[in-house]
Amino acid sequence: MYERIRNIALVAVAACVLFCVIGTKVPEKLGVDFPEWTGVGLDKSSLEGRKYQSPPKPGIRSALSGKFQTRLEKYLADHVPMRDEVLLKNAALQRSCIAAANTPFRFDSYPTFFDSIYVINTRGVVCRSVRTPTEKHSEAARALVGAINRAADAYPSTRFVFDIIEGTYSSRFNPTAKYSSNYLGKQWIEENYVNDLNDNVTVVYDEIETENEFFTEWFSTDHHWKLPRALKTYDSIGAILGWKKVPLNDKFTAIRKWHGSEARNGLYMDLSDSLEDYPIDFSDLECFINGKRVDRGLREKLLRNNQVIDSIPYGNRSYFGGLTATVTWKNRNKHAKGTCLFVEQSYGPYVERYIASNYSKTICLNPVNKKVEKPLMRAIEEYSPDTVVIQLNVVDAPGLIKQSPNFLT
């Protein structure tokens, strides 16, 4: 009897989901406009930062393999009206139960929902738990260190700097670090990276040095640094390579409100961040992507028009520039000399312009977030850089191996 009731309930739920999707898709095709909050007609989730599953094409082979059924299930789940709102309300309900259970214990942090790897801290930060090292992290460390050492040995006249970003996932000031006896912290990073690099590679260990820095110089809803903190790193590397100092005056708010990946993935949108910048003139720089002259993000356009954005998803990417495999900066200043190869990930766009202002040409490669087919050695051979700067949060090193397997060969 119980099994029969369960089966009827499952069929009823499936039928309801199917009806909801069909009931909105048909009017949509007929030209009916739905309010944005319903999610109907959108092809991308601003909450999850990914495109929704497109309608699967039926076929005998895909049906027999199960791919059609899997894609159809994902398509229906993605296109249920008010999907994102339902996810947020469900997480909020779970969070209220967790908060109530935490009352007698008064922990300073607790999960954003059941089984969440993201926590809310009483100081107004939502962040990911510290990362535990895996064999994949060790394999990636060996591959990356080996590739850097080989490149530095093969090109002894080229300056190599490896900027290791500790980041919020590896910091001892992460609210969850005190509950973990084994995480990707400074000791692990030094043992697996710093100690094995050749002497001709200069290492900048980019550590979060104080608790105040963790809570004020990094975003409250995102794992990235704020621009002033990014420019501290620029100064650290610049002291080694002779980069020019940048006068940081007249800081202003460029985006008043945006939600970072920690808030979105943690399904906790009660917190938000603003994004600040300095009105520095980079008009000598030209940016090229796929051979075309482009504006890198919204920064220059907003400055030209003296505009401020009230609210926007993915504020850092929208403003400084998105995740792109290859970006080339050319400097029209006649005093600029030399070439820099900047191997970056999502932290890099904050400082690309500042680095590029020191060279005649700067090539930025992002093998972590995008697929870069060209191996590091071949890139150095092709671009003939005077300087190679590799900037990486080593937590994400396995992603480099997965995304761009040829890069370290």
pLDDT tens-digit readout, 304-314: 999 999 998 88
Q: Is residue 385 over pLDDT 80?
A: yes
Q: Is residue 252 over pLDDT 60?
A: yes
Q: Indicate the range of 37-46, 55-64, 155-164 predicted with least confidence.
A: 37-46
Helix axes 2-29, 67-78, angle to 10 degrees: 70
What is the pLDDT at residue 7? 44
Task: Give CA separation, 95 vs 90, 91, 115, 208, 267, in Å.
Answer: 9, 6, 11, 29, 10
Tell me the average pLDDT across 237-255.
Answer: 94
Per residue in 192-205, pLDDT (tens digit) is 999 999 999 999 99
Q: Is residue 293 over pLDDT 50?
A: yes
Q: Is residue 51 over pLDDT 90?
A: no
Task: Please enumerate in sequence order all residues whose Cβ is within 8 A of that of 108, keeping only pairs 6 or more positions apart, or say none.
Answer: 121, 122, 123, 175
Would you place residue 24 in the very low, low, confident or very high pLDDT band (cuts 50, 70, 90)? low
What is the pLDDT at residue 53? 73
Tell whether the torsion through CA atoms of 338, 196, 323 and 382 is positive or negative. positive
Residue 39 near residue 78 (C-beta atoms within 8 A): no
Q: What are phi and psi of 330, to 5 degrees?
A: -115, 135
Task: Give CA separation, 202 vs 67, 93, 207, 362, 385, in Å.
Answer: 49, 50, 16, 19, 16
Would you place residue 329 in the very low, low, confident or very high pLDDT band (cuts 50, 70, 90)? very high
**Segments in 242-373 forming alpha helices (H):** 261-265, 299-304, 315-320, 352-356
What is the pLDDT at residue 29? 56
Q: Nearest Cα to 265, choosing from 47, 99, 79, 93?
A: 47
- Beta bridge partners, 154, equal none
Say how far apart CA 5 and CA 1 lie, in whole Å.
6
Q: State the CB neighbour count (10 A cutoff) for residue 72.
A: 16
- Beta bridge partners, 55, equal none
Tell me the average pLDDT across 348-371.
Answer: 97
What is the pLDDT at residue 82? 79
Residue 398 near residue 376 (C-beta atoms within 8 A): no
Pairing of strands 361-365, 292-294: unpaired
**What are the E-state strand segments in 259-368?**
273-277, 285-289, 292-294, 309-311, 326-331, 339-343, 361-365
Tell me the average pLDDT across 269-293.
Answer: 96
Q: Is residue 285 over pLDDT 50?
A: yes
| H or E element, residue 159 | strand 159-165
Q: Indicate the range of 73-82, 235-244, 392-401 predicted with least confidence.
A: 73-82
Tell me the average pLDDT across 174-190.
Answer: 94
Q: Is residue 5 over pLDDT 60?
A: no
- Portion of the chain with pLDDT greater than 90, in percent: 75
Tell me the average pLDDT across 72-94.
Answer: 83
Q: Is residue 260 over pLDDT 80?
A: yes
What is the pLDDT at residue 12? 46
Please report, as a single letter, which amino acid is at residue 372.
V
Six token digits for residue 368:
């972590």
In whole numbers, what is the pLDDT of the chain averaged over residues? 89
Say how far apart CA 188 and CA 99 lie, in whole Å.
33
What is the pLDDT at residue 40? 58
Tell me the average pLDDT across 55-64.
Answer: 78
Residue 258 near residue 272 (C-beta atoms within 8 A): yes
Say how far apart CA 75 and CA 79 lie, in whole Å.
6
Task: Give CA separation, 29 vs 24, 40, 374, in Å.
Answer: 9, 11, 43
Q: What are phi and psi of 394, to 5 degrees?
A: -65, -15
Say how far apart CA 286 and CA 277 lie, in whole Å.
19
Q: Is 349 helix (H, G, I), strand (E, B) or coil?
A: helix
Strand order in the sheet with 292-294: 201-206, 159-165, 387-393, 339-343, 361-365, 326-331, 285-289, 292-294
Q: Is residue 31 over pLDDT 70?
A: no
Residue 350 near residue 234 (C-beta atoms within 8 A): no
Q: What are phi and psi of 159, to 5 degrees?
A: -80, 130
